[in-house]
Amino acid sequence: MPSRIISVIGGADSNPEILKLAEDIGAEIAKRGVALACGGMMGVMEASCRGAKEHGGVTIGILPSDSKEHANDYVDFAIPTGLGYSRNFIVAKTGDAVIAIDGSAGTLSEIAIAWFSDKVIVALASSGGWAEKLAGTQIDERRTDIVFSADSPKEALDIIFKELNWE
C-alpha cells in the first residue's frame, strides 16, 4: 500500500495567525505518520510543510511551474508539473483527504475538485476565506455528505482518521 497522504490547501498570502494554524496542521499530520502534499509554494503551503518537517514528516510539493526551484524550503519531493494552475487537480487528487485553510479562488477550485473526486474534505472553521465559508456545508445538495468543519488541527485529523478507517 502506498503511504497515506493528506493534501493541505489554502491561501498563498494568509496572515500570521492563519500561517501558525497551517504550521500546526502540518505538525499534526506528521505526528500521525501521514505524508503531506500541497501546491509547494508560499503561504499556507509553506507553513504547513515547515510544521511537518519540524516533526519528522514527509512533504510533497506539486508545482505549477516546471522548475523545482520554485518549491518552498520545506518540500522533500518536488513535482514540477509544468501544467500551470491545472496542477490544482493533482493536488486535490493526491491526498486521501484534503484539509482547507483560508483561501481564495485557487483553494475554491481545489475544494470543488476534491468534492467531485469523492475525497474527505475538512475545512478549518475559523480560518477565513473559502474554507470558512464552506465548512459544514454541502457542495452538491443532491448528495448527503458535507465539507467537514474542524475547530483545531487535532479535530481535523480525528475526522479524517475516522472517515477513512485509519488507525
Binding site for a copy of itself (CB under 8 A): 2-3, 5, 35, 58, 60-62, 66, 68, 71, 75-86, 89-90, 93-94, 96, 104-106, 108-109, 112-113, 115-117, 139-140, 142
Cβ closest to a copy of itself, residue 146 vs residue 154: 146
The torsion defined by the Cα of 60, 8, 50 and 46, in degrees rounded to 10, comes to 90
Residue 17 vs 66, nearer CB to a copy of itself:
66
Smallest separation (angstroms) from a copy of itself to the CB of 130: 8
What is the spatial distance between Cα 11 and Cα 44, in angstroms, rounded to a whole number? 6
Least Å distance, CB 139 to a copy of itself, is 5
Inter-residue long-range contacts of 40-43, CB under 8 Å, 24+ positions, other chains counted: 40/70, 40/71, 40/72, 40/75, 40/78, 40/79, 41/12, 41/70, 41/71, 41/72, 42/12, 42/13, 42/72, 43/10, 43/11, 43/12, 43/13, 43/14, 43/19
Cβ distance to a copy of itself smaller for residue 107 or 149: 107
Least spacing, CB of residue 154 vs a copy of itself, in Å: 25
In the bound state with a copy of itself, the residue whose beta carbon lies nearer, of 134 and 157, is 134
Q: How far is the CB of 5 from a copy of itself (least distance, A)?
A: 7
